Structure 1
Amino acid sequence: MSANPATVAKCLRFNAGFTQADRDWIVTQFATLDARLATFDADATDLELSVKDREAKGQRITLECRIAGWPKIVTTSGEEDLRAALNDVRDDLRRKLNDAKTRQEPRNNKHLRVNTPPGQAQAPTDALAGAGTTTEER
Structure 2
Amino acid sequence: MSAVANPATVAECLRMGAGFSQGDRNWIEELLGTLDTRLASFHEDSTALEISVKDRTAPGQKVTLEAFLSGGDKIVTTSSLEDLHAAVMDCRDDLRRRLNDAKTRQEPRHNRHLRDVPQPDPADLTI
State the 1:100 CA deviation. 0.7
Correspondences of 1:2-41 after superposition (within 5 Å): 2-41=4-43
AA aligned opposite 2:60: G
**Partner residue, 1:136:** none
Q: Which has the higher helix share?
A: 2
* RMSD, matched Cα: 2.4
Identity over aligned pairs, percent: 63
- State the distance in 2 between where 1:108 and 1:97 align: 20
AA aligned opposite 1:36: R
AA aligned opposite 1:60: K
**1:127 to 2:123 alignment:** yes
State the 1:107 CA deviation. 4.0
**1:102 to 2:104 alignment:** yes
1:3–1:18 distance in 2 versus 1, CA, 3 Å: same
The two structures have a TM-score, normalised by structure 1, of: 0.77
**Higher-Rg member (1/2):** 1
State the 1:5 CA deviation. 1.1
Extract unaligned runs of 5+ from structure 1.
Answer: 115-123, 132-138
**1:55 to 2:57 alignment:** yes
Extract unaligned runs of 5+ from structure 2.
Answer: none
The two structures have a TM-score, normalised by structure 2, of: 0.83
Q: Aligned residue pairs: how many?
A: 118
State the 1:70 CA deviation. 4.8
Correspondences of 1:64-83 after superposition (within 5 Å): 64-83=66-85
Report 1 or 2 for greater relative contact order, CA contacts < 8 Å, sequence distance ≥ 6: 2
